[in-house]
Amino acid sequence: MLQHNLIERMVEHFQAGGEIMIPLMFLSLLMWTLAIVKSIRFLRERKRERGASQCLEMFRGEASVCKAGLAQWQWDILSQYMNERCEDPELNRDMLEAIRMRQEFKAMRYIGTILILAAIAPLLGLLGTVTGMITTFDVISEFGTGNARALASGISEALVTTQSGLVVAVPGLLLGGLLFRRAEKLKARMELFCIGLQEHTDGIATAGE
């Protein structure tokens, strides 16, 4: 019974916001979907990260086992670098930096979109406020202030959309900022991994010579 009343109140709240609530709802769903997917990806990858020397040892074994045991970004950097490296350390360094920059771009993917969607939400709420107030003034111009129900409908639309826009925006901005910091830390770990990878492979090359 309590659950039924809660759903009924949510539906009434949604209807009170008017047409602006529809794009606001889709924006919220898209933003949270991207945020959840990105958070899961960060957590899963973090658990599978290994040191550069351990990654090289795993790479010398079976490829499928190595790929399954490493974070995706480590496997992408390691496999591409080991397959394309040459005898020139400077060229290897430049190539490794280019590979790392591509992985850094992937680490930041969708975070900007999440922050943009969170920033758009209060603007949609403001649009709903404007349309609600326009509805209210139209009612006043046609019926005066005697039609309290019609007045309440317009004011309710203005307030509900503003509230909904803020409810979507505030957690979205906080979560986007948190994901941005995680991505920055991941980029720092990528840089350290590439440094360690080059040191170990240059050492192998020197020993081979």
User: Percentage of residues in the chain with pLDDT exceeding 70?
Assistant: 84
Rounded Cα distance between 20 and 126, Å, is: 10
pLDDT at 138 over 50: yes
Q: What is the mean pLDDT of residues 117-146?
A: 81
The whole model's pTM is what? Answer: 0.81
Provide the pLDDT for residue 105.
93
CA distances from 100 to 86, 189, 192 (A): 17, 11, 11
Rounded Cα distance between 108 and 42, Å, is: 11
Q: Pick from 76-90, 135-149, 163-177 the range whose average pLDDT is largest.
A: 163-177
Provide the pLDDT for residue 87.
82
Tokens of 54: 């351990």
Provide the pLDDT for residue 208.
40
- Among 1-10, 23-32, 135-144, whose mean pLDDT is lowest? 1-10
**Sequence-ordered list of residues with C-beta below 8 angstroms from that of 56, at least 6 positions apart, any chain:** 78, 197, 200, 201
Question: pLDDT tens across 39-90, in order?
Answer: 999 999 988 899 888 998 888 888 888 888 899 999 999 999 988 888 888 8
Looking at every residue in the chain, the average pLDDT score rounds to 84
pLDDT at 189 over 90: yes
